[in-house]
Structure 1
Amino acid sequence: MTISKSKTATIKLLDQYFTTAFSAPEGIPKLRELILSLAMRGQLVPQNPDDIPARDLLKDIETEKQRLIDEKKLKKSKPLPEITADEIPYDIPDSWQWVRLGDIFQLKSGYSFSKQDEIETGDFIYLKVGEMNLVENEIYIKTSSIYLKESEKVLSSLIPANSIIFPKRGGAIATNKKRLVTQPICVDTNIMSMICPRLIDLQFAYHWILSIDLARLNSGTSVPQINNKDLNPLLFPLPPLEEQERIVEKIETLMEKCDRLEKLHQEKEAKRLKIQIAVGDKLLKATDKKGFDDAWQFMRDNFETIYSVKENVKQLRQIILQLAVMGKLAPQDDNDKPAQQLLKDIEAEKQQLIKEGKIKKQKPLPEITPDEIPYDIPDSWEWVRLGDSMLKVTDGTHKSPINIQKGDFLYISAKNIKNEGISLDNVTYVTKEIHETIYSRCNPEFGDILYIKDGATTGIATINNLKEQFSMLSSVALIKQPRQIYNKFLLLSLKSPFFYKEIRADMSGVAITRVTLKKIKAFIVPLPPLEEQRRIVEKVDKMMKLCDELEEKITNQTEKQTSLLNALIAQI
C-alpha cells in the first residue's frame, strides 16, 4: 500500500489544521466538515491496488438487486440517466466510481399508523420526527415513547436494519438530522429511510449523507418536503468496500480527536467564564476599598485572558454600568454638594414650575424602606424614587391616532427608540391637530429621556436627540429630569443591570407585556452629587471606548484566524 506525495502533504496539513482549529472561531465544526470532505474525495486514506475496485462492486450490487426483484422483495425501478462529465463535482481515485444514489440505495417512506395501534411497549419501535431528538437516539435509534405490536401491516412497513433515516416533510428538514437504524423499526410518513445494500458499509454511507445538506433538496411549496425524485439522482462516490472500512476507521479516529479538542475548548471557556463571574462578583460585592482594589488589580492582570471573546466584553460593559451606579467607578469629593442638598433644590424647582403651571402637582410617593435598598452607596449619595426626583414621568397617547407617510409632525413609537438615539427609519407622521392634542400632555424636548415601557424591547432607553417637536405612542415613557440631574448619568442608571432586571421582572399583561407608569415612578435610583455624576459619565465613556477597542481587536484576531483556516483549507 503506497501513499502519494500529495496525499502525504494533505495529511501533514490536516495535522496543522488541528492546531489552528483550536483557537479559531468555528474552527472545530469546520474541521469536522473538512474531514468528511477529504474522506469523500479519497484523500483521507491511501488506496490499495489489491482492493476489489468499485466497478466490480457495482456488478455485485446489481446482481443482489436483481435477486431481490426476482424474489419480489424489491420493485424494479426506472433506469436513471447516465452521469455526464458536467455533473461530476470533483475528482476521485481511479478505483472509485461515481454512481447515482437511486442505483444502489433503496428509498422507503414511513406509514401513518392510527392512535389505536400505538402502545407504550411492544414488538417494534414506532418513530416520529420528534423522537429523533431523544438523547438515546443521537446517532443510533435505540428507543421511542411509542411501539407497535407485530402485524401484517407492521411487517410490511418495517424499515430494515442497515438503514439511515431523516425527516422528509416539514420544518424538520432544515435541521438535517440523520440517524442510523440497526434494528427493524417503523417510522411515520414524515420520515424517509435510505436502505443500505449489503456490499456498502453503513457507516461510510452515513458519513457521506452527513456531508449532504438535505434542506437544499426541498421541493415543497407551502410545506417543505423531500421526495424520491429529489434524492435518487444524487451522485454518490463509491470506493472499494475494503477502502470504505479504512475510511470509516480513519474518520472515527479523527472525530474522536475533534471531540477531545472540543472538550478542551469547552473546559477553557468554562474556566474563563468562572473567572469572569468571580471577578465581577468581587468587584460588585466588595465591602471595602482594599477588597475592591484587589479585585480590580486581578482583573487588570488577567484582562487579556478573561475578555478575549466578544460575549465576555458584553458582560464587562454590564459590570462597568453597575459599578458606575454603585459609586465604585469614580472617586468621591468632599467639596461636592451632597445629593441631600440636590433634593432640596429639585423640590424648590418643582414647586416653582407648579406655581407657573408648567407641571402638575403629584401625589407624594411612599418613603423608601430599608428593605427596598438593593446595595450600599456612598454617604454623599441618596436613594430616590423616579417620580419624586423627576419633573415629569408620563407616556405617549393611549389612543393610536391615524398616522401617515407624510405629515406635519413625526410620530414616534417603540420601534424608533434605539440605544444611540431616535431612528427615523420607517417613521410615520400625524397632522398638526392630532399632534397638539398629544403634545399638550406628553411634550418630549431635546435632552429628555425616552424609555420603552411596552413589549419585547422594554428597558431600552435613550436621550432625545431631536430638537423638533414630535408625538409619541404610549409604548414610550417620557422622563424629564431637573437641572440637578445629568441626563447621561440618569441614562446609565436606567440601563444598569439592576434597574433593567427589576423593570423586566415587574412587567405584566397578556397580549403585550408592559410596565406601568405607576411602577416606573415608584422605582428607586441612586442619586450622586451633580459634579460626581459628570465624573462618572466621563469615566464610563472612557471605559466603553476601551471596550469598543477591545471588540475591534477581537474582530481583527478572529478575521486573521479565519483567514488562516481558509488558507489551510485551500491548500488541502
Structure 2
Amino acid sequence: MTPQELKNSVLQLAIQGRLVEQRPEEGTAGELFAQIQEEKQRLVQEGKIKANKKIEPISDDTIPFDIPDSWVWIRFGNLVNYSMGKTPPRAESEWWGGDIPWVSIADMPESGHLHETKESVTPTAFDKKFGNKISPAGTLLMSFKLTVGRVSILDVDAVHNEAIISIHPLVDDTGTEKMYLFYILPFISQFGESKNAIKGKTLNDASISNLLIPLPPLSEQKRIVAKIEELLPLVDRYEAAWTRLEDFNRRFPEDMKKSILQHAIQGKLVEQRPEEGTAQELYEQIQAEKRRLIKEGKIKKEKPLPEITEDEIPFEIPESWMWVRLQQIGELSRGRSQKRPRNDPALFTNGTFPFIQTGDVARANGHIAHWTTMYNQEGVAQSRIWPAGTVCLTIAANIGDVAILNFDACFPDSVVGFNAYRPILSNEFFMYGLMCYKTILDKMSRSTAQKNINIDILSQIAFPLPPLAEQKRIVARLEELLPLCERLK
C-alpha cells in the first residue's frame, strides 16, 4: 500500500463514520443541519449572502456510500458560503506589484498553511477588481481547477485567483467545521455530484455547490479531526520508510549489477585454477604476438609505457593475475572524421553504413545491435571501419558507457574502440571490466566545452588481467547472472 493509499484509507474511514465511534449524547447531525439552514436563511434575508439556486435535492441514487444514522448528507453549498477570486489583466501594470498578497494554486501548500505569495496586487486592483473584499487570515482555500481539491489555510489576509474558492462554514464558532473540511475536501472533491469520480476534471460553480458532504454531529467532527491529526504523522513516518524502500528497490538491480561486475574484475566471481596458468605467462604471449604484428607491418610500435606503481592500483587481485595497461594488450584508438566535421550532412545523405554515436553505446546494454544514423560512401571513406566485436567506450558527453559492436561500423572521436589481441584475449572480459571503470573515468574527465577524457590518459589506466581460461569462465558467469539483474528491474 502506498502512503497516499494509506492516507486515503484513513480519510475514507473518517467520512464513512468508521474512524471514531458514535456517541448518542452528542446528538445528531440533523440538529446541526437545522441550525445551519436557519443561519443561512438569516444571512440571505439580511443580504449578506445570495441564495444558491444551483443546489439540487439529494436522492438515494446520488449517495456514494453509507454513513451512520446520526449523520446526514448535505450539499456543500448548503454547508458553507464560498467565493471565487479573480485575476486582474496582466497587461495593465497598475494592478500588479502592490502590497496585497494574491494567491495562485502554485502558492498553495498541499494540506498546509499559506504564509506568503509570489505575487501581489495594488490597492487600486483591490478596490476595482476585488470590491475591497479580502479573505482574512484563517480562511480555508480550495482549488477547483487543474489541481482539484488542494486545500490550504491562509496565514495572511489575501485575495486569490478564479481557480480558488474561499470557504466560510455557515455555523462554526469553534473552527471545528473548517478543520473537518480541511481534511476531507481533498478526498471528497474527487466524487462530484454522483457516484462517478471526477478525478482530473475541473469543477465549476454548480458542481462545487453540489458536492456531497457527509456531516457528523459537531462534537464527533472534533473527535474525527483529532484522530486524523493523531494518525497523519504516523502516515508521514510510513511514507518516509516506504520512500526509502522504494529507492532501495529502484537502485537494487543496478547496484547488484555493479557489485557482480566488481567481484568479476577483482577475481572474486569464480575460483582460480592453477592448471590454467598465470596472467604473466599470458602477457608474455601477448608481447610475442605484438612483436610479430609489428614485424609484419600490421601495427605500429608504440612508445614504452611506464611501470604501474602501487599508487595506481585501485584494488587487490589474485596472485595469478597481473596489472597491465590497455594499450599493452590491445589496440585502443578514437573514432575519427578526417576531412569534414562529423555532423556534416553531406556525409549522411543516402547513407547505408552504420555510424555509431555515444547515445547508441549508452542504450546498448552490453551489445550494440542498433544504430541511429548511417554514413554514405563519402562518410566511410574519410572515417574508419571498426569490425564487429570491437569494444566501444564513450569518452565525451556520457563518460564511460561501454558496449560491444554486433556489426562493422564507424564512430566519431567521442567514442574509443578497443580490440584485445586475439585469440590471446577475450574482448567480452574487457567490456565487462570497463563497465566497472565508469566512475573512475568520470572523475578523470576534464571539463571544456563538454565533459571528456583524454585518450592518452585512458591508454595508461591500470587494468586487471586474468589468465585466458579464467577470463572465459568469468564472462560465462556474468552472462548467467547479469540477465537476472535486468529481470529484477
TM-score range for the pair, normalised by the shorter chain length:
0.7 to 0.9
Which of 415, 418, 431 aligns to 1:479? It is 418
> Which residue does the alignment assign to 2:269?
329
Question: CA, structure 1 residues 163+364, in 2 after alignment: closer, same or farther (shift >3 Å)?
Answer: farther
Which of 360, 365, 385 aligns to 1:416? It is 360
| CA deviation map 1:485-517 (0-9, x unaligned) | 322221221112xx1112223445577544454
- State the percentage of identical aligned residues: 30
> Which residue does the alignment assign to 1:292?
none
Task: Tell me the CA shift for residue 187 of structure 1.
Answer: 5.8
> Which residue does the alignment assign to 2:465?
527
1:206 aligns with 2:182: yes
Question: CA, structure 1 residues 29+116, in 2 after alignment: closer, same or farther (shift >3 Å)?
Answer: closer
Whole-Å separation in 2 of the counterparts to 1:401 and 1:102: 66
Aligned length: 460
Whole-Å separation in 2 of the counterparts to 1:367 and 1:70: 98
Q: Output the amino acid matched with 1:44.
A: L
Task: Tell me the CA shift for residue 246 of structure 1.
Answer: 3.5
Per the alignment, in what secondary structure is the counterpart of residue 330 of structure 1? coil
Q: How does 1:5-404 map to 2 (within 5 A)?
A: 26=1, 28-47=3-22, 53-54=28-29, 56-68=31-43, 73-74=48-49, 79-82=54-57, 87-105=62-80, 106-109=82-85, 114-115=96-97, 117=99, 140-141=112-113, 143-144=115-116, 153=126, 156=132, 158-165=134-141, 173=147, 178-181=151-154, 183-186=155-158, 189=161, 192-197=164-169, 198-199=171-172, 201-211=177-187, 216-217=199-200, 219=202, 231-255=208-232, 258=235, 311-312=251-252, 314-354=254-294, 356=296, 358-359=298-299, 362=302, 368-395=308-335, 397=337, 399-400=342-343, 402=345
| CA deviation map 1:399-428 (0-9, x unaligned) | 12548898633343334332142243xx54
TM-score by length of 1: 0.64
Question: 1:162–1:196: 8 Å Cα contact kept in structure 2?
Answer: no
Whole-Å separation in 1 of the counterparts to 2:66 and 2:475: 62
Task: Tell me the CA shift for residue 310 of structure 1.
Answer: 6.4
Whole-Å separation in 2 of the counterparts to 1:433 and 1:148: 63
Which structure: greater helix fraction? 1
Task: Tell me the CA shift for residue 348 of structure 1.
Answer: 4.0
Task: Tell me the CA shift for residue 65 of structure 1.
Answer: 3.9
Whole-Å separation in 1 of the counterparts to 2:188 and 2:397: 40
> Which residue does the alignment assign to 1:286?
none
Whole-Å separation in 1 of the counterparts to 2:19 and 2:54: 32
Unaligned segments of structure 1, at least 5 residues: 1-25, 119-124, 220-225, 274-306, 553-572
Which structure: greater strand fraction? 2
Task: Tell me the CA shift for residue 373 of structure 1.
Answer: 2.5
Question: CA, structure 1 residues 404+140, in 2 after alignment: closer, same or farther (shift >3 Å)?
Answer: same
> Which residue does the alignment assign to 1:441?
384
| CA deviation map 1:434-475 (0-9, x unaligned) | 45326x524132x2212344435x4332222x2x43343555
Question: CA, structure 1 residues 39+532, in 2 after alignment: closer, same or farther (shift >3 Å)?
Answer: same
> Which residue does the alignment assign to 1:304?
none
| CA deviation map 1:90-112 (0-9, x unaligned) | 34445544444344341444778
Whole-Å separation in 2 of the counterparts to 1:542 and 1:62: 73
| CA deviation map 1:12-71 (0-9, x unaligned) | xxxxxxxxxxxxxx3554332212122223343444566555455444334434544566
> Which residue does the alignment assign to 1:455?
397
1:489 aligns with 2:429: yes
Q: Output the amino acid matched with 2:16.
A: R
Question: 2:446–2:453: 8 Å Cα contact kept in structure 1?
Answer: yes
Q: Output the amino acid matched with 1:450.
A: C
User: Which sits farther off after the overlay, 49-58 or 238-247?
Assistant: 49-58
Task: Tell me the CA shift for residue 386 of structure 1.
Answer: 2.9
Whole-Å separation in 2 of the counterparts to 1:144 and 1:475: 49
> Which residue does the alignment assign to 1:470?
409
Whole-Å separation in 1 of the counterparts to 2:37 and 2:238: 42
1:536 aligns with 2:474: yes
TM-score by length of 2: 0.73
Question: 2:349–2:375: 8 Å Cα contact kept in structure 1?
Answer: no
Structure of larger gyration radius:
2
Say what the alpha-carbon RMSD is for the aligned residues: 4.6
| CA deviation map 1:123-171 (0-9, x unaligned) | xx887767656xxxx854274598999989599454335533356788x
Q: Output the amino acid matched with 2:216.
A: P
Question: CA, structure 1 residues 500+231, in 2 after alignment: closer, same or farther (shift >3 Å)?
Answer: farther
> Which residue does the alignment assign to 1:278?
none
> Which residue does the alignment assign to 1:301?
none
Task: Tell me the CA shift for residue 329 of structure 1.
Answer: 3.3
Question: CA, structure 1 residues 358+208, in 2 after alignment: closer, same or farther (shift >3 Å)?
Answer: farther
Question: CA, structure 1 residues 526+107, in 2 after alignment: closer, same or farther (shift >3 Å)?
Answer: farther
